[in-house]
Structure 1
Amino acid sequence: MPLNPAFLPILEAMAPLAGLDWEATPPASLRAMMDNPLAVGDVVPVERVEELTLPLPGRDVPARLYVPQGHGAVPPLTLYFHGGGWVIGTLDTHDATCRELAVASGSAVLSVGYRLAPEAAYPLPLDDCHDALVWAAANGEVLGVDATRLAVAGDSAGGNLAAAVAIRARDEGGPALRHQLLIYPVTDADFATPSYAANGGGGYFLGTSAMRAFWAHYLGETPVEQAPLAAVLRQPDLAGLAPATVITAEFDPLRDEGNAYADRLVAAGVSVDHAQAPGMIHGFFSMSAMVPDAQQWIARAGANLASALA
């Protein structure tokens, strides 16, 4: 399918990023360029938004709780981990996404402001996300949620973190998860896939240069071979994980690794709803105000969460 035409003005506005040398640009400069979300469209209303500080072992991590309207007395909880290559992204960059997901799913959404690389390299961002899940499971009354009905979700690097948290929850005795929502997730550090060859030039927002930089910042001195919870596609055993929704995008360099991870989950006996969104680019989930066709994918993800968390 051709590129969805709604992306043409977006990509034209983002054209200067296509030639950016991401590997030579300091993370602080990347954040200054990328972490200022534009207000587009009306704010999606929810019943309650609460700024939180999660008291995790040895450190505090910011978070934001979204409780949708008409949720009932005690809603389930989905922890959301934002994208941004483990280097950029904030609670604010994904505010609209979390609002939309809360409304679409009927689940409260806890967006976690995990520490970023390279200042906090692997596995510290993952530790923050995992420990936030453990904290949330033990503090349902504090949050006003049903902590027996839990899911994790994330996009891009956040999808990677959600997948890794699901693996740790399986291997470390919980908390029990009912679902994992993986939106165009990073699953491997392989830049030679056909989707990288076709889409990695930077003309579709995310490019190979950016992903090389993100992986270098995230791993630091750790070889990828020694980071099995970073390159989750290389995990030897995916059996027994929470049921999953995996949504990938046709014009995304991460398409093939996301599709491969979905296939690996299915082969391991995990229940998976997997779809490749035609005509879409990386990041489309956060562009629904400008790309109306993205709404159907948010609705699909929300419906799957609602069913799993019922």
Structure 2
Amino acid sequence: MTSLPRRQSLLLRIARIVLRTRGVKRALSSPGLAEIDRLRNVAAGPAQPRARVARAFEIERIDDGGLAVFRMAPRSGATRNTLVYLPGGGYINPMVAEHWDLIAALVTRTGATVYVPQYALAPAGTADTEIPRIARFLAKLATDIPDPARLWLAGDSAGGGLATAAAIHLRQIGGPALQHLVLFSPWLDVELANPAIRAFARRDPSLAVPGLRYAGKLWAGDRATSSPLVSPVHADLSLLPPTTLVIGTSDIFLPDSRKFAAMAREAGADIEFIEVNGGFHVFVGAPFIPESRATLDLIAAQLTG
């Protein structure tokens, strides 16, 4: 397997500085600003893949019983691997161009065909509506793909929280087994009640607690924010499929990810926890950074080995 760099690269340090200038942290600094940002982003819609990504891969939009899904596959050299990817965005914002870059990096390394469901965003979509919908999609997809034993599920940030909840729900309803679950900087507790988060909130260049808690309440809908369906850190973690969790040390979600990994091991789950020095929130979405390349190489080796 690929070894992760021990020392922070110059590109990683520069990227953290640039992130602080992009205004995301300010937009999450209060519920009001988070709502203004949500309305603007929803009006703009999900980002299209960059031209170089669109040229390099086959990309189509399909409809699966009212669920819009992007399908992305290699133009040549496709394998029997299938990945369902759930993009983050705090449950309230559509996917961004960096999601396409990350998905392209995964396709390049694994030869997988990737399906990207456009789940309904809060407040229109909630944990109650979208987790069963994703579970149904996974169950149906398992009957359609060449090799159901090579079905993976992945997600980042809120998409990682959704992927975790959906994987556990799928197991609870007797759905098909997932070969692997990959979580990039997952949002596992929308309450953000862990007292250790305060120190990481200052360190994180892009996330802030007030706006996140606001978005988490919208996603919870009529449920308590502590519900396992909303905050899977409270779920029965013995039901996890084999899981890899990746997070950086400059990420507000690190304390809950550490807690989740420890609890999953105690529950008997097969989980690998990868903590990257200096990594910011979903740093793998910038595949040009050495730490991101090394991490993606490692995960691809796990999945295809």
Report how far residue 196 of structure 1 moved. 1.7
Post-superposition Cα deviations, 1:248-288, rounded to whole Å, max 9, x if no partner, equal: 11011111111221222222222222111110111212122
Map of 2:60 onto structure 1 = 50
- Measured after TM superposition, the shift of residue 186 of structure 1 is 1.2
State whether residues 84 and 156 of structure 1, in contact with CA within 8 Å, keep that contact through their aligned partners in structure 2.
yes
Partner of 2:122: 117
**Alpha-carbon shift at residue 166 of structure 1 (Å):** 1.3
Distance 1:40 1:50 in 2: 14
The count of residues paired between Structure 1 and Structure 2 equals 295
User: Contact 1:250–1:280 at 8 Å: present in 2 too?
Assistant: yes
In angstroms, what is the RMSD of aligned CA positions? 2.8
Q: Which has the higher helix share?
A: 2
Q: Output the TM-score relative to the length of structure 1.
A: 0.84
Deviates more, 1:116-125 or 1:19-28: 19-28
The aligned runs of 1:169-248 (5 Å cut-off) are 169-201=170-202, 204-225=205-226, 227-235=227-235, 237-248=236-247
Whether the aligned pair in 1 keeps the contact of 2:57 and 2:75 (CA below 8 Å) is: yes
Deviation digits for residues 187-237 of structure 1, max 9, x if unmatched?
Answer: 113434354211224851011122112211111232124x212211112x3
Residue 67 (structure 2) aligns with? 61
Corresponding position of 2:264:
265
2:237–2:263: 8 Å Cα contact kept in structure 1? Answer: yes
- CA displacement at 1:135 relative to structure 2: 2.0
Change (3 A) 1:12 1:160: closer
The TM-score normalised by the length of structure 2 is 0.85
Compute the displacement of 1:22 (Å): 3.8
- The secondary structure found in structure 2 opposite 1:279 is coil
Q: How far apart are the structure 2 equivalents of 1:257 and 1:16?
A: 21
C-alpha distance in 1 between matches for 2:35 and 2:124:
9
**Share of identical aligned residues, percent?**
23
After TM superposition, the structure 1 = structure 2 runs for residues 21-100 of structure 1, keeping only pairs within 5 Å, are 21-25=29-33, 27=35, 29-33=37-41, 42-43=52-53, 46-55=56-65, 60-72=66-78, 75-90=80-95, 94-100=99-105
Q: 1:169 to 1:214 in 2, by over 3 A?
A: same
What residue ranges of structure 2 are gaps of 5+ in the alignment?
1-6
